[in-house]
Amino acid sequence: MDNDSLTARILEIVPDAQLEENKQFLTFLVPAANLHDLALKLKSSPELAFDFLFCVSGVDYGKQLAVVYHLNSTQHKHALVIKVKTDDRANPNFDTVCDIWRTAEFHERETYDMFGIRFNNHPDLRRIFLEEDWKGYPLRKDYVDEVNIVEF
């Protein structure tokens, strides 16, 4: 599927999705509530068939926290980027997609570890790299840690 028909198809599934311009891949900003539903359709629709979740990255945009999903279809060779954002920095949470793409289980744990973004219905949401008792979420921009980070 080319980008135009992909755009049309995704806007059909999630009418609130915003297309972000001038990106390397087709990028959509999706309301958090629609994420799981969209993901399920992206995977299961035969003409979309986004079966390969390449990368899940958390991004801290200062005010907002975002999660970026890089999707790929091994069948149709098209790519898509889905973004979800939240303003709630104290208790950010999104739906998990690890029931759809199993690789998300680890990637979401990593995002939780580094950004404190919780994923609802995740089977085993624990810190993956840091200690369980680590305070704060290191990749957030407002993270301050005098003890462990050595500034030059």
Partner 1 sequence: MKEIINLPVSKIDEEEYHINMGPQHPSTHGVLRLVVSLQGEIVKNLKPHCGYIHRGIEKMCEKDTYPQIIHLTDRIDYLSSHISNHAVCLLVEKALEIEIPERVQYIRTIMDELTRIQSHQLWWSSFGMDLGGLTCFFYGLRDREMILDIWEETTGSRFLQSYNCPGGVMQDIHPNFQKKVHAFLKTFKKKIKDYDRILSGNVIFENRSQGVGILSKEDAISYGVTGPSGRGSGWSCDVRKTEPYSMYSKVQFNEVLRYECDTYSRYMVRMQEMHESMNIIEQLIDNIPAGDHSAKMKAVIKLPAGEYFQQVESARGELGLYVVSDGNKTPYRMKFRTPSFSNLSVLDHISRDMKIADLVAIGASLDLVIPDIDR
Instruction: Give the binding site for partner 1 (CB under 8 A).
Output: 22-25, 27, 51-55, 57-60, 68, 70, 74, 77, 81, 101-103, 105-107, 110, 114, 127-132, 138-139, 149
Given the complex with partner 1, which of 15 and 122 has the nearer CB atom? 122
CA distance linking residue 25 with residue 5, whole number of Å: 14
- Helices (H), strands (E): how many in the chain? 3, 7
> In the complex, what is the shortest distance from the CB of residue 16 to partner 1, in angstroms, rounded to a whole number?
21
- 34: how many CB neighbours lie within 10 A of its CB? 18
> In the complex, what is the shortest distance from the CB of residue 10 to partner 1, in angstroms, rounded to a whole number?
18
CA distance linking residue 108 with residue 111, whole number of Å: 5
> In the complex, what is the shortest distance from the CB of residue 36 to partner 1, in angstroms, rounded to a whole number?
16
